[in-house]
Chain A
Amino acid sequence: MILLSTWIWKEWRDHRGGIVAFALMAPALIALAIATIPGEWARNGLVPTYAGFAGFAIAALSFGADLVPGELRRGRLGFLARLPGDLWSAFVAKLVFFAVTLFSFAVWTYLCTSLASALFRDGPWFPEIPDKDLHPNGWILLAAASWMFAVSCWLPRGTLAFPAMVLSVAAFCAPVVGAFVMNRGMPLHAVELEWMLGWLALAGVLVAACSFIGGLRHGAPVRRRLLWCVGSAVLAFAPVWGWAGLRVAWFRHLDPGERTFRISACALGSGGRFAFVNGFHECRETHQQNVFGQPFSTSHALVIDLETGAWRRAGDPGNVFLACGQQFNSTPSPYVLLSERHHSRVPAEKEWKDGYTGATGRPLTGDDWKRVLQEYGALDAAVNRETGFIVLPDGRRAWTAGVRILAERAGAGVEELPCEVRDVWTESLGHGFGGARVCYDCTRERSFERRRIPNRVKWIRAGRWILERWNGSGVVTIDFALLDPDTGEVTPLCGFDAATQRIATLEPDGRLVVSTDHVEKAGKLRWATLSLLDPETGESTPLSLPGELDRRISSVAARGFVACGDRMLYITGNGDDGFCATWLGLLDANSGRLRCAGPIHAESRGLLGCPEQDSVVVIEEDRRIVRAWFDGRPTETLFPR
């Protein structure tokens, strides 16, 4: 310890002139700067933080770059090398001195700037350093300072250290940058960037140690210096290169036959032969979870021929399908669009990468694209046409295109409905569309204030709207009421003492199937019910499944169901005890009875469609596409085979 303190004292004596000069000049210069910059800047709480970064950088440039070249330039290396402490002690002292100087300069400039801002321009006293500014800027500075010190051990002059640092870090990071540039969809997570910068900072110290101690001892012959400097740098970067390589391999890996493969979304093309799947590999089951806790690999888009089970990748890793039709849709899609990456909203046109014809599974050609654009007007409108449409009482399909509302009768052209543009329509409501403040009723061609509409609105036929009113918070009860927009009259229908999960309208009589989840304490779902609601009479009729399934549905929560056609319901249940099951139910609308069409005794979350009358295509266990028969025959696995 005494030895180290003596070495550090030597470093202090060596550099104290520069340090004292900076310590004295910094307050004056900072005060001058604070006094002259505009007031809003001077009072900005971020200014002291970035002044601290600047102080850090100045220390790195002034001292880190010259700690070792200074010894070489003055011919003191021989003196240090022959001391009993050897170059180890000298290196440790230089490192400690450098680190202390870096942080002292940063703290000093932060304090001076904060004080100057508070005293002269009414700025905040010692503002908090925002975490988002500290990371990764702090890591970048630390890594740069570390490598400045490292490369300065290779050089005879400190003035070369900065460009040499930039060049060497750029050269060594090139494979990593290349890996991410060539795999555009591969995201670099913030935590990964921080890990990498942290490793670079540590590696810089290790390389500096090797370069200084190994490279400069025994007379520092050129070959030895090169070996230690470049060799240690290569070794230091090797883990980063290896990580980038693994990252690319992990990013590109796709094998639907593996148990880890999962289907996140799927659409069935027109005709039912081709399926368009977004899949990924789940890492938790195989303990392949990376150090950053990400349980999933990247998303892959696959085109699957359900007749043969053959599949091919569409686009690049990271791309996703967004069907012109809802995901998990029961309606086969004529076109399926491929996007660069997942979007929580409809992506802009430039982000569409490619498109596929649903019936053939082939990429859209130039003519196909023209037809798509001609039919839909624009791609985002095309998506709305398929996913956000409503059906008006006269049978027209209506959807939004920006602030416009378009309508189309089957087999006829598209027309624009006259509506006063007062808002950007964001959701389909009743017979119209809702914005932030107003709703537009397409049948009456007029707007009304949104505040009159409670909670959610569902449409029914006969021009009336059904209102869904939520009472309470957390565990809520639901009331249904009818609204006649012409008169403004609201007629109460019925209530349910649980949060409604899904409402499906059964055509053509307009009766609703309502699924409710009944919730007990602690928010646990305990059971689910299905009811048939007649809006005309306000009557709610419970639906029941026969036999064992009836008991099952009362003991598991119905997580959701989808109406397929006008008679078939698809119900998925999850139990607290891990029980998972799916039923296909055929509803007799006249009698209100639900007949079990065929159970699928496995977790199955996705219904793709009913390409044939006697069966449905569903996603089973999130990883297989199977055909389930209504007559109870065993399911047939279509993919993977």
Chain B
Amino acid sequence: MMNETSDNLSSACGAPAFTARGVCKRFGKKRVLEGIDLDVAPGQVTALLGVNGAGKSTFMRLALGVLAADRGELWVAGFDPLKQSRRLRQAVGYVPDKPDAYEWMNVRDLFRFLSSQYPTWDRAYADSLVASLDIPTRTTFNSMSRGEGMKAMLAAALAPRPRLLLLDEPFAGLDPLVREEVLRGVIGELRDGERTVLVATHDLDVVARIADRVAILAEGRIARHGTLAEVLVTAHGDFTAGRNAHEDPSSKETDFGEAPAKLHDALAAVSRIGS
């Protein structure tokens, strides 16, 4: 899969940090992804939106090389997820939807276990993350709250200073206060603007706050992809076209304060109409 063009692309300035071309995946007879095409530019935060079961987590696992695509081409941080999985995983940080470290581990154990696997592991940075996110160091995952666990997983994903951060619904199931803490942790890491982030979520508020671009996944394909404003405009059209076809979508002014609600409408419309 790795060819000269791809090498050149990935090394060139402004080349996508994440490229998917016609990626398909099915489990048995169930087709989950049916030709995903997606480019994520370096330094951008792209939100992958979709209803439950749309295939967001599957796509994330494909990107990490944990699953193998049935068809299509994937380049993540310049690497083939299957053939160069070790280098890819060393360059990519991943936060799952729930803490899945060993229950007997505390955050120090987790860092000890992971630090030998990441050449770029920054111990001081890891310590600072633990302090800034207020993660208990002696509590095992067995005794941590879900929020504490998610913050520990976030710190573990960030400590190697990855070029690409994959967040697989990390805010799901968190109470508002903890979600805010985790969100602030993510936002704090995005300040330098050098890190590329692909975040799968259906939390529209999060999308509105951190995403530069939004991709909506529906029926196994990227139904909409663009900046938040572009998606809102086109999505609003879809929504109103579906609800009230005679209204002119361009007459509506885009209001980012209402973005979550509009995104919700857009998501509903895309899911209903399809791509």
Determine whether B89 belongs to the interface, using a CB cutoff of 8 Å to chain A. Answer: yes
Chain B residues with CB under 8 Å of A218's CB are: 66-68
Residues on A lying within 8 angstroms of B by beta carbon are 2-3, 5-6, 9-10, 13-14, 74-76, 78-79, 81-86, 89, 217-219, 221
Least Cβ–Cβ distance between A144 and chain B, in angstroms: 29
In the complex, the answer to whether B117 meets A83 with C-beta atoms within 8 Å is: yes
Chain A residues with CB under 8 Å of B27's CB are: 221
Given contacts A13-B104, A221-B27, contact A84 B118 (CB under 8 A): yes
Which of these, B64, B89, B113, contacts A10 with CB under 8 Å? Answer: B113
Alpha-carbon distance A623/B85, docked complex (angstroms): 66
Which of these, A3, A13, A76, contacts B100 with CB under 8 Å? Answer: A76
Determine whether B101 belongs to the interface, using a CB cutoff of 8 Å to chain A. Answer: yes
In the complex, the answer to whether B89 meets A79 with C-beta atoms within 8 Å is: no
Top 8 nearest A-B pairs by Cβ distance? Answer: A84-B89, A6-B116, A218-B68, A84-B117, A79-B100, A84-B90, A219-B67, A3-B116
Residue among A10, A84, A85, A86 with the most chain B CB within 10 A? A84
Alpha-carbon distance A380/B101, docked complex (angstroms): 76
Determine whether B109 belongs to the interface, using a CB cutoff of 8 Å to chain A. Answer: yes
Determine whether B163 belongs to the interface, using a CB cutoff of 8 Å to chain A. Answer: no
In the complex, the answer to whether A6 meets B113 with C-beta atoms within 8 Å is: yes
Main secondary structure of the interface of A (DSSP, over half): helix
Inter-chain residue pair count (beta carbon < 8 A):
61
Chain A residues with CB under 8 Å of B68's CB are: 218-219
Chain A residues with CB under 8 Å of B105's CB are: 13
Residue of B whose beta carbon sits closest to that of A88: B86
Determine whether B94 belongs to the interface, using a CB cutoff of 8 Å to chain A. Answer: yes
In the complex, the answer to whether B96 meets A86 with C-beta atoms within 8 Å is: no
Chain A residues with CB under 8 Å of B61's CB are: 82, 219
Alpha-carbon distance A13/B142, docked complex (angstroms): 14
Chain A residues with CB under 8 Å of B109's CB are: 13
Given contacts A2-B116, A78-B96, contact A86 B102 (CB under 8 A): no
Residue of B whose beta carbon sits closest to that of A17: B104
Least Cβ–Cβ distance between A80 and chain B, in angstroms: 10
A-B contact pairs, 5 of them (CB 8 A): A6-B116, A14-B104, A76-B102, A78-B66, A217-B66
Least Cβ–Cβ distance between A603 and chain B, in angstroms: 67
Alpha-carbon distance A89/B118, docked complex (angstroms): 14
Chain B residues with CB under 8 Å of A13's CB are: 102, 104-105, 109
Alpha-carbon distance A5/B117, docked complex (angstroms): 11
Determine whether B83 belongs to the interface, using a CB cutoff of 8 Å to chain A. Answer: no
Given contacts A3-B116, A86-B89, A218-B68, list 7 more A-B pairs with CB under 8 A.
A5-B116, A6-B117, A79-B100, A79-B101, A86-B85, A218-B66, A219-B61
Given contacts A86-B85, A219-B66, contact A10 B118 (CB under 8 A): no
In the complex, the answer to whether A85 meets B102 with C-beta atoms within 8 Å is: no
Chain B residues with CB under 8 Å of A14's CB are: 102, 104
Alpha-carbon distance A2/B114, docked complex (angstroms): 11
Residue of B whose beta carbon sits closest to that of A3: B116
Least Cβ–Cβ distance between B141 and chain A, in angstroms: 11
